[in-house]
Structure 1
């Protein structure tokens, strides 16, 4: 990318990785040229620099001067010292936890924009090496199922295609005979798995950076399309991944899956990935509760589900209406999402429960069986 290509939006997306010295040298030194002319980006860069400096501690080495500039007594705020691996992990988690999503979208697409930005920052950690090339060993790290890091990104390409195809965006790979997304197919899980296998097989023939570029381009196209920016268009219903919901809520599903797989990758690599911001997390919780309620149906034994953390608590009654509640179940919002995402087993999820244990097990088991990730 040339220096001229660094517009404001591009720099906003790169600042998190830049702050932890996770960009290739060509990009690491090009960013300050934009910061010199953009007060907003410069202020954000200084905040992120201070975060890393605090995490490094008082004995951290000071940054070197930019090539071609005179050395000063104070550190150059536009050049980062090289953090330790532990500091880099902590800084990355801190940055992803507070960094606003980019690009700007309508509110219904903001959780997806934030999840994409977080995963991009995490993947940027795998690129810079002393020789300027990617860390191929890291990209081949087993993550989940039989997928490596690269395979997991390839799966997201295939998964995002379902919404992208519905919104009329072009496909990134040759289409399956029945179409990439098969949005109305009653056997959607088979179509989902088949498409994932085909895309992963294709991406294994390409460099990891090419896989990431394809995923980034598709995610950017989704966030730039009219449905991501027009609430009226997003209110229209679509049947995808076996459920009929407004397009706005399908954007939430994309946010949910992107976060879960970013967390998968972070755990595999030993790099912490924070949960979504609280406002986004609770939107995911509400959507998950709605889908769980539909899956349980109106005849299930009524269970009072409370999702609670230190700042908020919300209760829903799942199952038959008008019947006495048979049990009470209390879950943390992150744990509930990990259960719905298939990352916590029903018997292992931390919980508090009272009443009919069989009714509780029914709710937990149905939540776990809904996972397709």
Structure 2
């Protein structure tokens, strides 16, 4: 039995000296009290260890020659642990050896150390190792930075403009082999932005209700459809440009009407079931084909006439018109599905405003012929310049335009300006799109009130389904 106990003590000393990862630290109740060595008991009739023997008042008789003084009844019973406290200095044999771990084990503990999941001994060993190991120190710093990202308070949602900014950066550093013409760039940008919105929405949101608004004569009208219906409308009207370039028209080119509203109604009527997200692929393929054809042909097709039935536009203006409508209806869809949608870039918005300003004299002449605008003036003297209105667009995409009031062929002149209207760029576009009434549009007005009213209503009349 004695020999077995010595072997056990020797085994414990070998375990304490081994290089190993300390196990989990248990609670005090989990300790094996039988394995903890107890202080030695005092000898029978003697004092506790390290306790001084009190002086005797009488010489102690020789042992075995008569009874000595009896035990003090007030003295504590031996072995009950009520004597003086043991020596506070621990036994060196009982002190645990410092944790010494190999490099591979310490490297494996770096992740737990970064998460503050190591024990006290492991933490001390890892931090001591990092002072002398540069690769592990770099890895530990990287892991600590990664742990900091797990506790960020910022939003993890991507910026809606990230895709546009990345593409702009790529194209700025590496131009396309066959660049998109400048007059086609707004259409390219707006179709890409709308396509990014459509990629983000779910299947159910394709059936979200959308109310399209425009202006007819003196009143604002609207039409209810869905997100998929709006894309079908864009596909039908873009077909006018495809037909002008000799590409496939989504409607039968020989029988399909040219008027955008009639084309849309025909396209919707040909769909037996409510349109779904399946309309996205044909629309996007058609827009890609238009951009590709315009890029390869370049100036040779810029002046190609595109008929809208009641009027016609050269292809470069028609693509700008389609970019404007793509942005406007993209905003309609974004409102329906609660999606952030920004205005076009300042350069593209300026070009859209310029197209509307150039179309205003003809729109004003059409309203005058229908009796909806005041009569023309200053046409008695041959060659005399007509009146003009100063249209001042402020903010995003702003500028100054002078709108001829008396003849669609005349050119506006600052010297003949009889009125001035100041508008924000986006608000002017909303007026041209028929989303706000002319009465609500102007931020600043000065001069001939009749001329101002005629121009604002002419701008609203440019809108259509």
Q: State which of 173, 177, 189 in structure 2 corresponds to 1:114.
A: 189
Q: State which of 340, 343, 347 in structure 2 corresponds to 1:275.
A: 343
**1:119 aligned counterpart, secondary structure:** helix
Alpha-carbon distance between aligned partners in 1 of 2:350 and 2:335, rounded to the nearest angstrom: 22
Instruction: Report if the CA contact (8 A) 2:419-2:445 is conserved.
Output: yes
2:395 corresponds to: 309
1:287 corresponds to: 355
Which is greater in Rg? 2
Written as runs of structure 1 = structure 2, the 5 A alignment for 1:313-328 is: 313-320=399-406, 324-328=416-420
Within the alignment, does 1:230 sit opposite 2:306 as a pair?
Answer: no
Task: Rate the CA distance shift 1:336–1:227 in 2: closer, same or farther, 3 A.
Answer: same
Task: Rate the CA distance shift 1:97–1:277 in 2: closer, same or farther, 3 A.
Answer: farther
Q: How many residues get paired?
A: 276
Within the alignment, does 1:220 sit opposite 2:288 as a pair?
Answer: yes
User: Is 225-234 or 95-104 further displaced after alignment?
Assistant: 95-104
Deviation (angstroms), 1:201: 3.5
1:372 corresponds to: 464
Deviation (angstroms), 1:168: 0.9
Deviation (angstroms), 1:282: 0.5
Instruction: Report if the CA contact (8 A) 2:210-2:227 is conserved.
Output: yes
Instruction: Report if the CA contact (8 A) 1:341-1:368 is conserved.
Output: yes
Deviation (angstroms), 1:107: 1.1
Written as runs of structure 1 = structure 2, the 5 A alignment for 1:105-254 is: 105-127=180-202, 134=203, 136-144=204-212, 145-173=223-251, 175=252, 179-180=255-256, 182=258, 188=259, 192-203=260-271, 205=273, 208-226=276-294, 229-240=297-308, 242-254=310-322
1:50 corresponds to: none
Provide Cα deviations, 1:125-183, integer angstroms capped at 9, x if missing partner: 114xxxxxx2x24533334221111100110011101111111111234x27x53353x
User: Is 329-338 or 283-292 further displaced after alignment?
Assistant: 329-338
2:330 corresponds to: 262
What RMSD, in angstroms, separates the aligned Cα atoms of the two structures?
3.1
2:21 corresponds to: none
1:12 corresponds to: none
Question: Which has more helix, going by share of residues?
Answer: 1
Instruction: Report if the CA contact (8 A) 2:390-2:421 is conserved.
Output: yes
The answer for unaligned runs of 5 or more in structure 1 is 1-71, 76-80, 128-133, 183-187
Larger RCO, structure (CA 8 Å, separation 6 or more): 1
Instruction: Report if the CA contact (8 A) 2:240-2:307 is conserved.
Output: no
Alpha-carbon distance between aligned partners in 2 of 1:210 and 1:271, rounded to the nearest angstrom: 20
Structure 1 moving runs of 4+ over 6 Å: none
